[in-house]
Structure 1
Amino acid sequence: MIEAPVETPKTSPIQNLLKGLPTLLVLAVMGGGWLVMHHINSKSGPIEEAESADAESADSETPLADTLVLPAGKVRVAQLQSAPAQSQAVQHFHTVPGRLRYDETKHVDVKAPMDGILAEMHVTPGQHVQTGDLIAILRSPEIGQARAEILKRRQEREIAQQVFQREATIASNLRELSQMLDQGDSMKTIEAALNNRALGTYRQQILSAYSKMRLADELLEKVRPLVASGSVSGRTVREREGERQLAETEFRTARDQATFAADQALLSAQADLDEADRQLNLAWQAVETLLGYKEDRANANLSNEEALSRLEIRAPFSGTVEARHFAGSERVARGDCLIVLANTDSLYVEASIRESDWSAVSLQTGTPVSVAVPALQGQQFTATVNYLGREVQSDTNSVPLVASINNTDGLLRPGMFVRVTVPIGHAKQALSVKPESVIQHENQQFVFVDLNGGQFKRVDITTGQASDEWVEVTEGLSPGQLVVTNGAFLLKSELLLQGEGE
């Protein structure tokens, strides 16, 4: 059986056009893209050629991987600055946490010095007081007894003073009498001059002996003329002369004894007066010890029992009342804390230096340290070191650091957290660059050396100690090399982009 041939269907022109449409679209897109790129290249060509010309004029050689070449225009816009690497004094610092505390010498509990009744309370918490201001009034028999002792010692002193004045007057009058006796004045003249002057018992002793001597002189003078006429024998004259010598001896003895006794009495009176002064001063000191302050001794009121038992408690220094523990009319015992008084014009900064660091810390008394207070937007203050402890604390393995900080403006408060920056080791001369010159990438520190003409070279370095102003360079640089300071980070970005382009 012969099969009939199969007829092939005819394809229309529209079907052929639809089959070739994708290919035409692809060709059209490629042609349009070529036209756009040609148009762009025709516009950017002069700019790229100008930049290429600037780069070629700056450096005709091909830049290395660690070298960066910038056009003069970009250098001007970036405002790059360079400084030579040079030897500088570098001091390493370490920052440790700390707290502000009260100055222990200006934070005290004002306590009752004795048992009594708190009659009046004159301060409240938060009140500022000056040195010597009245804080409270206490009624106590103990202070009354101490003041009564003052009255007793005052009276004893007055008696001793009167005795001393009398003995001094007698000694002075006795010296004047001795001068008149040496001049040989008559008894009438002497008595007239010293009739109302104090001489004590010495008047009778001396004047009686002087009168006998004068009488013996008169008798001797009367007898002597009679010897020549034979009316009186020579024996009588000799007897009169003996009597006269005996009277003179008694007179001189009386004078010497009176002078010695007067001097001794004056010295004894002076000693009694000095002792009375000491006892009175001790009585005042006992009262002032109970009071806690110096009292005005000249104007102290000791007139009655109420004044004697009144104890005024006054502020030992200027400060602020932090707390008050008693009210008026309460009974208090010796040692009870009446108020807490603090002066925050200066505070202590307490910090801890770790055991591994303290041996390297170069701190002496008076060394200034920097204190940053985070609560005050990181404001910086300067404190002065009081001492660095010697004993390592077992709980923290650190040694305490205590410094004084001025707080007259009242910005700081006890308990605030602070950061204390202390020097480590001693400052040393070393090749250094500015901190902003040092850049780090992939754990490697480097700087850009200015080769002039817009050419900058990356140089890897090794650093040592660092301060706020300088960083020590131990390897990689030589003295005098120009190192970029301002704009080093921009150069780093350019160098990274250059690496990506390659």
Structure 2
Amino acid sequence: MNQTTGQLPTQPVNASHKPVLFLVLAIIAIVAGVGIYQFRSHKSAADSAPAPEESQQTGTTSEQAPQKENSGPVTITLPESKWKVSGLQIEPVATGRFEETIRLTGKVSLNEDKVAHIYPMVEGSVDKVDVGLGQVVKANDLLVVVHSREIGQAKLDLYQARLQQEMAVVKDKIQQEIATNTRQLLAALRKREPINEIEERFRSRSMGDYRERLLMAYAGYLKSDADVERLEEPTKSGAVAFKQLHAAKSSRNADLAAFQARIEQIEYELKTSLLLSSQSVKEASTRVAVAATSLRILGCDEQEIQTINPEQQGAAISHYFVRAPINGTIISKDVTLKEQIRPQSQIFSIADLSTVWITADIYEKNLPLLASLSGKPVRVFNEAWPDRSFQARIFYTGEIMDEKTRTVAMRAIADNPDHLLKPGMFVNIEFESGSEQELVIVPRSALQEHEGQDFVFVHTGEGEFEKRLIKPGKQNETTAVILEGLKPGERVVLQGGFILKSKMLEDLMGEE
């Protein structure tokens, strides 16, 4: 301390502390400036804000401004002299059925009603393959020749059955001839015709042993009858004893009985032999029919069945011919030469591509359309043929909804004579759907929109137009359904509404 002044001596400031001091002073200055700015801002806002009473009287609050705009109908004035220049077109509101075009994506698939998956009916080895993948075939065209032991044995059985049938038929014919001749002989014998005439008449006719047996019995009876006649006169004169005549009559009666019994026996034998002969023919015919049917079941055609001849065909009699069941295109081939095939193995698939199915999935929102879709035509498009459309007819709309996709299957059939629609192609599908009742409809060009509101301009008289809020419904490319806001007969602006909308917006901006 300085003893003269009584003060502490001044200490020199350290040069290393100067930057810190300047930083502290700068922060203090910034804080002070911010505080002064906020104070002035608040004061200015308070001075410029209107009093609550003033705001209520003038009605300029942000909450009340829209209410003023929507409190009544908005009317726009446009003199009729300017309508033509503005392109204004006015028409009355009409009613009608709403038509819309439904668009779906789909896929081309095979017509499952015209696809044949071919399996051999027998086991064997392939001797010949006549077709290739993608080849177009017609019904009954030869596809494959198979060497089959089963077929060979079935054909031999049929051949033997036919031989037995031929033999049975010949025997039956002979038996019928014998029966006819024998019956004629029996008729002659019952008439007691002379035996020499009978022998002369039936000498060359076939009757088996029936003629001998009948004629011997008839001759014995004639002899006994002649003996009786010869003894009758001598017996009357007493030259011959009555006992001898009686013995002759007894012998005649016995021979007559034997002759009649022989006739009855031969008639019975004729009936029996004819019955047996006829039955043999039926049995032989049945065996032939069974053997032939077995071959038909295995797929052999009639010409093949009728021309069976082991002597001429030799080992080829075992050939089994697989033929095309329908007209179509070979879309799969799983057989090669000398391959062993079995009934469980598919060897070909043939598809008739002259028609195809168009498959699509109907989403849940379009389910009301399903009831009216059956039998209706649809248009089909594919980007491979941009300038062409194909016609299809809906024939199936499913009854079960897919739980994963929430869709219902739809099927349509399309003619495909040029095979332009390939199974697997993706296609676009269009079809028309219309309402059953009359609705209020306007052209889409009449619809306007502002601040999320849909409206139209209604001509209320002379040069005045009213902005009419509406609730639109379904729309298509040209037409819209109006659910609320318009009545039939009201005149709405169809063209030139942009001019009215611009004028309406100018009026609103002028008010602001």
TM-score, normalised with respect to structure 2: 0.67
The answer to whether the aligner puts 1:120 opposite 2:128 as a matched pair is yes
| Cα separation, partners in 2 of 1:194 and 1:341, compared to 1, 3 Å | same
Distance between the aligned counterparts of 1:410 and 1:179, measured in 2?
79
Residue in 2 aligned with 1:65? 75
Query: Residue 392 of structure 2 corresponds to which residue in structure 1?
Result: 382
Deviation at 1:129, TM superposition (A): 1.0
Deviations, residues 99-144 of structure 1 (Å, cap 9, x unaligned): 2221234323333444433222221222211111122222233322
Deviations 1:265-317 (A, max 9, x none): 32332232222222223323333444465544333454233221222222111
The question of whether the paired residues in 1 share the 8 Å contact of 2:89 and 2:494 is answered with no
- C-alpha separation in 2, matches of 1:373 and 1:210: 99
| Contact 1:391–1:399 (8 Å) recurs in 2 | yes
**Alpha carbons of structure 1 residues 308 and 73: separation in structure 2 relative to 1, 3 Å:** same
- Farther off after superposition, 236-245 or 158-167: 236-245
Bigger mean CA deviation after superposition, 372-381 or 91-100: 91-100
RMSD: 4.6
5 Å matches for 1:188-227?
Answer: 188-222=196-230
For structure 1, which segment, 235-244 or 324-333, has the greater mean C-alpha deviation from structure 2 after superposition? Answer: 235-244
Q: State the Cα distance separating 1:422 from its structure 2 match.
A: 7.7
Q: Which residue of 2 aligns with 1:431?
A: 438
Offset, 1:437: 5.9
Please, which of 272, 285, 288 is the counterpart of residue 280 of structure 1?
288
1:310 aligned partner: 319
Question: In structure 2, the residue corresponding to 1:197 is in which secondary structure?
Answer: coil
Structure 2 residue 115 is matched with structure 1 residue 110: no
- Structure 1: runs of 5 or more not aligned: 1-62
How many residue pairs match? The answer is: 430
Q: 1:171 to 1:393 in 2, by over 3 A?
A: farther
User: 1:164 touches 1:270 (CA, 8 Å); kept in 2?
Assistant: yes
Change (3 A) 1:142 1:451: farther
Question: What residue is the counterpart of 2:495 in the other structure?
Answer: 490
- 2:330 paired with 1:321: yes
Q: Which aligned pairs between 1:101-500 and structure 2 lie closer than 5 A?
A: 101-222=109-230, 244=252, 246-291=254-299, 293-300=301-308, 302=310, 303-354=312-363, 361-362=370-371, 367-375=375-383, 376-377=385-386, 379-385=389-395, 387-419=396-428, 429-432=436-439, 436=443, 439-442=446-449, 475=484, 481=489, 490-500=495-505
> What displacement does 1:435 show?
7.3
Is residue 433–residue 470 contact of structure 1 (8 Å, CA) maintained in 2?
A: no
Task: Indicate the residue corresponding to 2:37 in structure 1.
Answer: none
Contact persistence 1:99–1:418 (CA under 8 A): yes
The residue number in structure 1 matching 2:47 is none
Residues in 2 aligned to 1:148 and 1:282: alpha-carbon distance in whole angstroms:
13
**Aligned counterparts of 2:501 and 2:296: Cα–Cα separation in 1:** 81
In structure 2, the CA distance between the partners of 1:209 and 1:339, relative to structure 1 (3 Å rule), is: same
Q: CA deviation at 1:318?
A: 1.1
**CA contact 1:438–1:445 (8 Å) conserved in 2:** no
Q: 1:214 to 1:333 in 2, by over 3 A?
A: same
Q: Percent identity?
A: 23
Give the structure-1-normalised TM-score: 0.68
Q: Contact conserved, 1:67 with 1:458, CA < 8 A, in 2?
A: no
- For residues 116 and 140 of structure 2, the distance between their equivalents in structure 1, rounded to whole angstroms, comes to 15
Q: Which has the larger radius of gyration?
A: 2
Distance 1:197 1:483 in 2: 114
Q: Output the CA distance in 2 between the equivalents of 1:465 and 1:241.
A: 122
Distance 1:137 1:222 in 2: 86
